[in-house]
Structure 1
Amino acid sequence: MLTIRLARGGSKKRPFYTLTVTDSRNPRDGSNKEHVGFFNPVARGQEIRLSVKQERVAYWLSVGAQPSERVAQLLKQNAKAAA
């Protein structure tokens, strides 16, 4: 089953996450099918906090990928900000 979830990157106490499409059985930072955006929870000033490739997310959702709880919240936030 395909899942859209966050993969952690960054350094200690400076997390940076990529939104990835992967098999749900893979480890969190394991192999993935595609990167569809990023999330920077500690963004300050002019830094971009959330970036999502909407077309690719829509495609993966249409073929049956399920977003994780946190990714679903972020996608909802992003849709609200875009409107």
Structure 2
Amino acid sequence: MVVIRLARGGAKKRPFYSIVATDSRNRRDGRFIEKIGFYNPQAGDKEEGLRIAADRLTYWQSNGAQMSPTVARLVRQSAAKSAPAAA
């Protein structure tokens, strides 16, 4: 099964996560099919903390990929931030 989840990168105590589509049997930071975006939990005010390619996310979901709970939460936060800006 294809799952959309976070793959950790960055240095010790400085996490940086890539949002990837991968086979659920692969390791957390192992091989992935496609990188969809990134999440930087320590981003400052002037830095971009979250970027998700919405078109690729919908493509993978339409092909049966499941989001991890953390990625689902980040997608909801991203949608909530972009909705008032668009209105």
TM-score past 0.5 threshold:
yes
Q: Determine the structure 1 residue equivalent to 2:73.
A: 73
Could you tell me which residue of structure 2 aligns to residue 38 of structure 1? Answer: 38
**Count of residues in correspondence between the two structures:** 83
Q: Does the alignment pair 1:25 with 2:63?
A: no
SS at match of 2:30: coil
> 5+ unaligned residues in a row in structure 2: which ranges?
none
Whole-Å Cα distance in 1 between the matches of residues 9 and 61 of structure 2?
Answer: 24
Counterpart residue number, 2:8: 8
Q: What secondary structure, in the 3-state scheme, does the structure 2 residue paired with 1:38 have?
A: strand
Compute the RMSD of aligned alpha carbons: 0.5
User: How far off its partner does 1:81 sit?
Assistant: 1.0
Runs of 4+ more than 2 Å apart? none
Percent identical residues: 53
Distance 1:81 1:58 in 2: 18
